[in-house]
Structure 1
Amino acid sequence: MSPATITAVSPVITEKGAALGEALNAYIRQEHLPETYYNIVREHLLPLADWIASRKQEKSLVIGINGAQGSGKSTIAGILSIILRESGYRVAVLSIDDLYLTHLERQKLSESVHPLFKTRGVPGTHDVDLGIETINRLKSWKGEVAIPRFDKGIDDRLPVDQWTYCRAPVDFILFEGWCVSTPPQTQDELVEPMNSLEAQEDKDGVWRRAVNDLLSKQYQKLFDMIDHLIFLQPPGFDCVVKWRSAQERRTFIDRQNDGMNTQQLIRFIQHYERLTRHSMEHLPELADVLLEIDHAQRVVCSTYRYGR
């Protein structure tokens, strides 16, 4: 697909086919995406960017993107940001992963509340106030805003001087993450362990109840800032281990170590399993846009609750 064939899908997206095509080509090469990804861009992501652009208001809009680990939500956020920026919109991308507490903060949390909080991921391991502050600044600040960055390779937040910067205010904030807009569970749903991790390391349910309590209170303040939600629906939870394994290899490809082995990765993903399954069950009903993903991480169907 030549760059010139990437063109507008409606009057909302400005006709900048060649420039847009070149930017998308560069990103697809950078992310080592297959040539077939152009079909996903043409059939699903250009129309989705058009849908987002059509909702432009005077105020900044926060677009939530939820998807299981390794489902491709960061890639989709990256593609959408390129399309929107090339069409003249000001866009910021924020990942909930970049809001993780520092390694030391999680260590203290594991000692004061529960040992499982040492592992990044679940509600309770993010700096929610930092997320709220960052979004508010992107919406109202006039000038450069620092966007936090977390390095999974060292399992720690990067120093402030290594954060990225974005000129505010922006038109759209693409806020992506595996638990973005996930609703809390009921107390009855917390009783039975979800997997061997919970059965062996959270026998009394202290950890999962603490996670759910934080999700129902502190995190909802952050998620209430979202104006529209996009949900990536996988074919099943069994895909997550495969997808996350591939993600782990990409993360550590330029580093001296190989990251987590298979058993470590399975244990790691079990921290996420409960709320990932919960999201898969409930978010299709709550999302404004549903993107169905197949086993190869390809978008195969787009459903718009309010039309395009």
Structure 2
Amino acid sequence: MTGADAAVGQDLIGPALSVIAARRAGLPAGRPLVVGICGAQGSGKSTLAGRLACQLPAAATLSLDDLYRTRAERQALARTVHPLLAVRGVPGTHDVDLGLALFAALDARRPLTLPRFDKAIDDRADRAAWERHEAPLHTLVFEGWCIGARPVPEADLARPCNVRERDEDPDGVWRRHVNAQLAGPYQALFARVDLMIFLAAPSFETVIDWRCEQEAALVAARPDAPQAMDRAAIERFCALYERITRTLLADMPDRADVIAMLDRSRRCTTLRVRQI
């Protein structure tokens, strides 16, 4: 267990469970609770989601990453809309209808099969690897880097926010498509979240550092892993998420139910809990 993982357990699990209990008490009888966890890459979302699910009865986790469109679907978007949509991650590269169908099955108390995405092959995992729940779930912990994000005003899209947007999206086609997806289908998906937890990085630059640490850990664990990225490649990769990440860092602390302000070591320096 890393120090970051230990900090997540010590600082957030107890307060989060208390808020979850209070929110559940206010729900209509029989309604499953959907807990959203939003945070930039490397902030500890998956760790927190897994630990919460382990301590809640009849609970499971779903990552926004597991709703990625298939590789073939993203390649089709790259051909018909913009080449950058071949890269998974931003709004528009997820199967929102699949997510909405899962929430409908959850609310109907039907058996639930949660999809899984295999990043090693950049494609949806075979259905045999999906997670089946025959008994109705009481809680679904839904984690993802942009869960709860809102679109920016159209005028904000006129100027690229980084070099990659400037060079690869000079006409703004990609960023306007991403923003439109966020304004439309994704808001329906995020609306099902009953309670939001936000893991706030100190800055966007720190997110790049965290992503570099993740890459180094991957290389250490698998020296033969293909396509390991150096810092320049990671900065270029993270540029695709910069606009939404910066917007979340600015506005999500005013909206989330539980806000954990993290330091560069992912330790929680300030924890704010809104009264339920």
> Do both share a fold (TM > 0.5)?
yes
- Report the Cα offset of residue 47 of structure 1: 2.2
Residue number in structure 2 paired with 1:300: 269
Q: Does structure 1 residue 63 correspond to structure 2 residue 35? A: yes
Q: Distance in 2 between matches of 1:155 and 1:271?
A: 17
> Following superposition of structure 1 onto structure 2, how do residues 242-281 of structure 1 map, counting pairs within 5 Å?
242-250=209-217, 253-254=221-222, 256-262=224-230, 263-281=232-250
Q: Choose the corresponding residue for 1:78, options 8, 29, 50.
A: 50
Given that 2:9 and 2:48 are in contact with CA atoms closer than 8 Å, whether structure 1 keeps it comes out as no
Alignment RMSD: 1.8
When residues 159 and 230 of structure 1 are mapped into structure 2, their CA distance, relative to the original with a 3 A threshold, is same
Write the mapping of 1:91-130 to structure 2, written as runs, cut at 5 A.
Answer: 91-130=59-98
After superposition, the Cα gap between the structure-2 partners of 1:33 and 1:95, relative to the gap in structure 1 and judged at 3 Å, is: same
- The alpha-carbon distance between structure 1 residues 256 and 183, as it changes in their structure 2 partners (threshold 3 A), is same
Q: How does 1:1-308 map to 2 (within 5 A)?
A: 32-34=1-3, 37-38=5-6, 40-56=8-24, 57=27, 58=29, 59-84=31-56, 89-143=57-111, 145-250=112-217, 253-254=221-222, 256-262=224-230, 263-306=232-275
Q: Check 1:39–1:189 CA distance in 2 against 1; reply closer, same or farther (3 A cut).
A: closer
Q: Hey, what's the Cα distance between the residues in 2 that align with 1:177 and 1:108?
A: 24
Contact preservation (8 Å) 1:249, 1:259: no
Deviations 1:90-115 (A, max 9, x none): 11211101111111111110000000
Report the 3-state secondary structure (helix = DSSP H, G, I; strand = E; otherwise coil) of the residue aligned with 2:241. helix
Deviations 1:140-190 (A, max 9, x none): 2333x2111111122111011111122442111111101101000001111
SS in 1 for 2:20: helix
1:43, CA displacement in angstroms?
3.7
* Matched positions, count: 270
Larger radius of gyration: 1
Distance 1:210 1:77, change over 3 A: same
- Letter paired with 1:81: A
Greater relative contact order, per chain length (Cα 8 Å cut-off, separation 6+): 2
Normalized against structure 2, the TM-score is what?
0.92
Rounded to whole Å, the distance in 1 between the matches of 2:38 and 2:79 is 30
Check conservation: 1:248, 1:259, Cα contact below 8 A.
Answer: no
Deviation of the 1:243 alpha carbon: 0.9
Q: TM-score, normalised by structure 1?
A: 0.83
Structure 1 distance, partners of 2:199, 2:11, is: 15
Instruction: Supply the distance in 2 between the matched residues of 1:166 and 1:300 (Cα, whole angstroms).
Output: 37
Gaps of 5+ in 1: 1-31
Contact 1:69–1:244 (Cα < 8 Å) also in 2: yes
How far did 1:250 drift? 4.4
Deviation at 1:255, TM superposition (A): 7.5
The amino acid across from 2:139 in the alignment is F
Gaps of 5+ in 2: none
Aligned residues of 2:78 and 2:85 also touching (Cα < 8 A): yes
**TM superposition shift of 1:54:** 2.8
Q: Is the 8 A contact 1:96 1:176 kept in 2?
A: yes
The one-letter code sitting in structure 2 at the alignment partner of 1:109 is L
